[in-house]
Chains A and B, each alone.
Chain A
Amino acid sequence: MEHTKHLWRAFLILLVLGVAGIFVRHFLIPESFGEQGFYRYTSLGEFKEKPVIHGAVGSCTSCHQEIADTKTAGKHASVSCEVCHAPESVHAAGGQKIADMPTNPSHTLCATCHQFLEARPKEFPQVDVTQHLIDLGVMAKGEAIPDGACIVCHQPHTL
């Protein structure tokens, strides 16, 4: 039959295209795509491997039990150490100290929680920092707040 050759040619071309398609698809669709849904399931594991910066609850106490005990007995019990200092990762790695833990004596740190704001819950301890310092005679009206003004009287760990 004279048309057989054409049919075979068409068939071969389709076959080659089909195989090539499967081959290309293999490269385009990443592994684990569709395993749990329309996404790459292995990417979940990649999220897990991101570095942990802040320590787990209580990780500071393994070395600083004393300060932790003092703090826990006071009003700042619920304030995580890292909130006022810095994330654990800048200070310790693998149970070893790698750098000093920063301390921030500035009144601006205290003010982020304790500056009087109308939107703060009424029962939360707060004060107009500038007026408070003027009332105490620490500074005059119009002056800049001296650095470390709060911690002269208020010790954050023993409050």
Chain B
Amino acid sequence: MNEYEKEEPASRRDFLCGAAQQAAGAAIILAFGEQLVAFSEAAAGETAATAEASAGVPYDPLKHRYLYLIDVAKCIGCGACVRACALENDVPDNHFRTWVERYMVSRTGEVTTDSPNGGKDGFEPLLTGQDITKAFFVPKLCNHCSQSPCVQLCPVGASYRSPDGLILVDEKRCIGCGYCVQACPYGSRFIHPETHTASKCTLCYHRITKGMLPACVQACPTGARRFGDTQRPGDEVTEIVASSPVRILKPEMNTEPNCYYLGLSQEVR
């Protein structure tokens, strides 16, 4: 129950109630009509209470459009972001809403990658036995794509793109079929072992709507992760994305991600 529920001025329900009462000839319709009236009254009561409870929370999803920026050169692979995300969102063990990958590239171009426990406990020194010439960490999370395959194929309308530009899963609608988990080119989704519904990064919707930073961004000690809003005048992240050589992951998928990477090496998949 929240401020997103609003009173419908002249809903189908009200119309039906009126119509049903007028059509007094058919007893069966009257029977339905009575139930409909009772139903609409209950709904109206709820809406009034909701409006009161949420007065003073002036967040309008239509006035924001979020984006995310990752500066690969700054990431030290500490995993603070992964730990913060898990605590903030009660992410089950061995599942990740965000994670950090390590890339080690040899002189001959061999790429070694690892992400032990999603980088949650940090990284141990790794000997690849190769002449490593380039090594870096790449934080990953849901790209909140503008053209997201997960939303397109959800059969029940549980996955959606919100007006503020986030890809979210309505837990109450999700039937746990797992199509979206397979469809996501970035591996950003998983089926929650307890709820058996699809689960994923929400960019900490419960925080950003209160003006706070997503937990991962706040936890990052080096500023490798940044969060912006294109609708905020003078937004720094929007400015960086607009004026710097940023890249997105898997552009060939045409998903139009809203997570941008600064200094991303071409080995990253």
Contact = CB atoms under 8 A, between A and B. Distances in A.
Answer whether A and B are interacting partners: yes
Interface stretch (B71-79, B175-183, B236-244): B71-79
A9 B108 CA distance: 82
A16 B206 contact: no
A118 B212 CA distance: 34
Interface stretch (B140-148, B185-193, B214-222, B245-253): B214-222
Contacts of B212: 52, 56-57
Contacts of A79: 221
A117 interface: yes
Contacts of A126: 76
B169 to A, nearest CB: 9
B74 A121 contact: yes
Nearest to A23: B32
B202 A47 contact: yes
Interface stretch (A30-38, A62-70, A144-152): A30-38
B80 interface: yes
Contacts of B168: 43-44, 47
Contact of B84 (A30, A39, A82): A82
Given A79-B221, A113-B76, A117-B123, A40 B173 contact: yes
Nearest to A29: B157
Contacts of B104: 118-119
Interface string B61-101: 10000000000011111111001100111000000000000
A96 interface: no
Which secondary structure dominates where chain A touches chain B?
A: loop
A69 to B, nearest CB: 18
Given A46-B2, A53-B215, A112 B78 contact: yes
B5 interface: yes
A34 to B, nearest CB: 9
B222 A112 contact: no
B73 A87 contact: no
A52 B207 contact: yes
B4 A83 contact: no
A54 B135 contact: no
B29 A19 contact: yes
B16 interface: yes
A52 B35 CA distance: 40
Interface in B134-179: 135-137, 157-163, 168, 170-173
A91 to B, nearest CB: 13
A111 interface: yes
Nearest to B43: A31
B162 A44 contact: yes
A80 interface: yes
B206 A42 contact: no
A50 interface: yes
A83 B221 CA distance: 8
Given A43-B173, A48-B59, A49-B206, A117 B77 contact: yes
A112 B121 CA distance: 7
A112 B157 contact: no
B61 A44 contact: yes
A37 B74 CA distance: 38
Interface in A99-138: 111-113, 115-121, 124, 126, 128
B38 interface: no
Identify the 3 closest CB pairs spanning chains A and B, nearest first. A45-B2, A39-B160, A112-B122
27 contacts: A15-B26, A19-B32, A23-B35, A26-B13, A30-B173, A32-B4, A37-B160, A38-B160, A40-B170, A42-B2, A42-B4, A42-B5, A44-B61, A45-B1, A47-B205, A48-B2, A50-B205, A56-B212, A80-B80, A83-B221, A112-B80, A112-B122, A118-B135, A119-B137, A120-B76, A121-B73, A121-B74
